[in-house]
Amino acid sequence: MKSQQKKQFIAALKSKVSTKVDVVELANQLLSGNTIALSKAITLVESNKREDSLLAAELMRIILPHSGKSKRIGISGVPGAGKSTFIEALGMSLIKSNLKVAVLAVDPSSEVGKGSILGDKTRMEQLSANANAFIRPSAASGTLGGVARKTREAIYCCEAAGYDVVLIETVGVGQSETAVNSMVDFFLLIAISGAGDELQGIKRGIMEMVHAVVINKADGENIHKAKLAKTEVKRALHFYPQFASGWSPETLVCSALENTGIGEVWTLIETYFEKFDGYIHQNRKSQAKWWLKESIEEEVIAQFYLNKAIEKELPIIEKDVVEMKLSVSEALLKLMTLNK
Amino acid sequence: MKSQQKKQFIAALKSKVSTKVDVVELANQLLSGNTIALSKAITLVESNKREDSLLAAELMRIILPHSGKSKRIGISGVPGAGKSTFIEALGMSLIKSNLKVAVLAVDPSSEVGKGSILGDKTRMEQLSANANAFIRPSAASGTLGGVARKTREAIYCCEAAGYDVVLIETVGVGQSETAVNSMVDFFLLIAISGAGDELQGIKRGIMEMVHAVVINKADGENIHKAKLAKTEVKRALHFYPQFASGWSPETLVCSALENTGIGEVWTLIETYFEKFDGYIHQNRKSQAKWWLKESIEEEVIAQFYLNKAIEKELPIIEKDVVEMKLSVSEALLKLMTLNK
């Protein structure tokens, strides 16, 4: 941006700065690792208000150069697989290695007040009480694209605040995994052993993007079953195409409850980061490009529907199309004329 | 449309009418069942030229009230399953029952001149030589959405020209099936018996939309295998959710080569049309609504990228986003300002 343009942009922003949020001060606090500031920053990023989005843009401008340094790990799994227990165990083990851990959630289906997958912090008792952990229940609402964009910027906030590992939990419904996959470096699927049908309930599309499957609850009488499940999953993974990076997905067993096998999972993740450092760097660039495209298209469509003339005429045109009085091609010609 | 608006619209269209195409004359010929006119009409509908799209819109306006009377059948299957032979056998049997049959193809990957799935008419020798059959190789190029919209309008053309059954062949790559599924009443999958792995190569998403699976090539030594395959497929289909209409997908065997089992397939399709007449009517309305939405969004996005200011600035903004100099949110704010 040219200097003059920049001045104008900042002046425009400043005129909008509410007395409640001083973005520069907020950014400074966030950069010093203050978790209250981090919380506030994410709230700002997640806000759907126009005024807040200008402030959020300014905040991102300040913190962006300080982001990008974490390992971004996506964690998915069917309900009951023990995702929270796993995150608690992995998180605590990372903290013991002097790492700072942030946990975010992508859950576009959740609505504020209706609770969300990470809403119940008591499921991560130790982690939520630890000063080196930051847990952020999913509060953003809106379209998947919008929620995901905000989650991406929440990741940048966590990174700028000094978190070394960002774990992004997702609900396991398919769509949100695709979104999460395009913002993380490594994607982990938590599964449990069942009646020979370990992958039931896991959408095929998800299997294609996981870097590793961890069979959880390998404890007590379940150990043998978990090992069998591992063999089954390994065989299933064999049928999926190899990653562009050359990585072949791995299968591990663990018990988050008894804290066994967690170290092995982390070792595997570290191996990936060491081995594919250059690939990860490139992949993040592709992800950024993809997100820009997705966001642009979502926004362009949203603005089209907000156009007053369109808002007025669309129901009439739609009715005519449904009743076969108007072809889609002609409807398009009309709508595009209205949109000019 | 108000009378005055309509006059202006038609005047605008007339000023654009090239000396080559008289749309009213073309429509009249098409409505009388002239196949050359039908071919020309589809070419017009498939054209990507702006002038042609105005003519196509006018053509659609005239023929739309005469469309909607055919049975629209989607036909998919892996390469080698014998789709063309099946269509030839089914088509000829329909013609013997005094029905007129049109065959279209959806193949967004094909490019003009590069050939297409129906390009080789010799694969349907009898059908292509019959006066009551109309075979249209896929010639449309462009985005899937665009190709699909044009195929939809080609269906209307065939219907207006008096075809009783429109068969829409697709390539079996997943995406195009979704498009075809949203323009047909009944979706048929052609499979063949294999080594106990009948559904290999068929994407899960496709299985979820088929109304019936036909195991083809049940002839000679293959009859027993085909029957086993039928049992397997039946079992597999059991795991898929029921249709909104209440229909449960059926499995049949046939030999398109020996012309056995084809009548049973058609009887099944007729049963569906009798039983779900009201549902099909409603479903076509939902399909029209869906297509309008898809077409709008594709067009809006296309126009955004054609905006000169966007065309100029986007590469710079994209570079900044990729290099983490600019957040996606801020990039969006900038781009939307440019788009005003």
Mean pLDDT by 10 residues, chain A (340 residues): 49 48 94 96 88 89 94 87 91 97 76 43 80 81 73 94 94 68 91 63 71 91 87 78 84 93 97 95 92 90 92 95 89 87
Q: What tokens appear for B210 in the block? A: 């088929």
CA-wise closest residue to B168 among B117, B224, B99: B117
Q: Which residues in chain B touch residue A325, judged by CB atoms under 8 angstroms apart?
A: 64-65
Q: Where are the domain boundaries for CATH 1.20.5 in chain A?
A: 1-66
More confident residue, B235 or B290: B290
Give yes or no for A56 touching B (CB within 8 A): yes
pLDDT of residue A205: 67
pLDDT of residue B140: 54
pLDDT of residue A206: 74
CB contact under 8 A, A156 and B327: yes
Chain A residue with Cα closest to B307: A340
Q: CATH for B67-275?
A: 3.40.50.300
CB contact under 8 A, A291 and B329: no
Chain A, chain B: beta-carbon pairs less than 8 Å apart:
128
pLDDT of residue B2: 46
What residues 217-236 of chain A have any CB closer than 8 A to a CB of chain B?
Answer: none
Is the pLDDT score of B263 beyond 90?
A: yes
Distance from CA of A212 to the nearest CA of B (A): 22
Q: Where are the domain boundaries for CATH 3.40.50.300 in chain B?
A: 67-275
Q: Which of A149, A292, A331 sits opposite B292 (nearest CB)?
A: A331
Q: Which of A204, A296, A328 sits opposite B332 (nearest CB)?
A: A296
CB contact under 8 A, B153 and A329: yes
pLDDT of residue A231: 86
Give yes or no for B336 touching A (CB within 8 A): yes
For the purposes of burial, counting CB atoms within 10 Å of the CB of A80, is it exposed (0-12), middle (13-18) or buried (19 or more)? exposed
Query: By three-state DSSP, how is residue B180 classified?
Result: helix
Chain B residue with Cα closest to A67: B324
Helix-then-strand count for chain B, H and E: 14, 7
Cα–Cα distance measured from residue A22 to residue A77, given in angstroms and rounded to the nearest whole number = 39
Identify whether the C-beta of residue A59 lies closer than 8 Å to the C-beta of residue A44: yes
- Give the residue-averaged pLDDT of B213-238: 86
Chain B residue with Cα closest to A46: B329
Identify whether the C-beta of residue A261 lies closer than 8 Å to the C-beta of residue A253: yes
Assigned architecture for domain A68-276? 3-Layer(aba) Sandwich (3.40)
To test the contact with chain B by mutation, choose from A5, A327, A339 the residue with the greatest count of B C-beta atoms within 10 A, namely A327
**DSSP-assigned letter for residue B111:** -
Ranges A194-208, B28-42, B308-322: which has the least confidence: A194-208
pLDDT of residue B322: 93
pLDDT of residue A167: 96
Distance from CA of A103 to the nearest CA of B (A): 21
Give yes or no for A129 touching B (CB within 8 A): no
Q: Which residues in chain A touch residue B297, judged by CB atoms under 8 angstroms apart?
A: 297, 301, 304
Q: Which residues in chain B touch residue A324, judged by CB atoms under 8 angstroms apart?
A: 64-65, 67-68, 288
More confident residue, B160 or B243: B160
Chain B residue with Cα closest to A338: B300
Distance from CA of B55 to the nearest CA of A (A): 10
The rounded percent of chain B whose pLDDT value lies above 90 is 49
Q: Which of A64, A325, A328 sits opposite B327 (nearest CB)?
A: A64
Q: Which residues in chain B touch residue A239, judged by CB atoms under 8 angstroms apart?
A: none
Give yes or no for A65 touching B (CB within 8 A): yes
pLDDT of residue B117: 47
Chain A residue with Cα closest to B322: A285
More confident residue, B120 or B253: B253
Is the pLDDT score of B9 beyond 70?
A: no
More confident residue, B6 or A306: A306
The rounded percent of chain B whose pLDDT value lies above 70 is 81
CB contact under 8 A, B300 and A301: yes
Q: Which of A54, A297, A336 sits opposite B301 (nearest CB)?
A: A297
CB contact under 8 A, A333 and B54: yes
pLDDT of residue A333: 87
Confidence of residue B73 (pLDDT cuts 50, 70, 90): very high
Domain A1-66 CATH (choose: 1.10.12, 1.20.5, 1.10.3470, 1.10.10): 1.20.5
Is the pLDDT score of B107 beyond 80?
A: no
Identify whether the C-beta of residue A164 lies closer than 8 Å to the C-beta of residue A270: no
Instruction: Please provide the size of chain A in residues.
Output: 340
Q: Which residues in chain A touch residue B324, judged by CB atoms under 8 angstroms apart?
A: 64-65, 67-68, 288
Give yes or no for B53 touching A (CB within 8 A): yes
Ranges A258-262, B177-181, B254-258, B277-281: which has the least confidence: B177-181
Q: Which residues in chain A touch residue B288, judged by CB atoms under 8 angstroms apart?
A: 321-322, 324, 328
Q: Which residues in chain A touch residue B299, judged by CB atoms under 8 angstroms apart?
A: 332, 335-336
Q: What tokens appear for B328 in the block? A: 């996606």
CB contact under 8 A, A299 and B336: yes
Confidence of residue B266 (pLDDT cuts 50, 70, 90): very high
Residue A121 makes CB contacts below 8 A (sequence gap 6+) with A128, A135, A137
pLDDT of residue B100: 98
More confident residue, B262 or A5: B262
Give yes or no for A69 touching B (CB within 8 A): no
Q: Where are the domain boundaries for CATH 3.40.50.300 in chain A?
A: 68-276
Strand partners, A189: A76, A213
Give yes or no for A285 touching B (CB within 8 A): yes
Give yes or no for A289 touching B (CB within 8 A): yes
Query: By three-state DSSP, how is residue B37 classified?
Result: helix
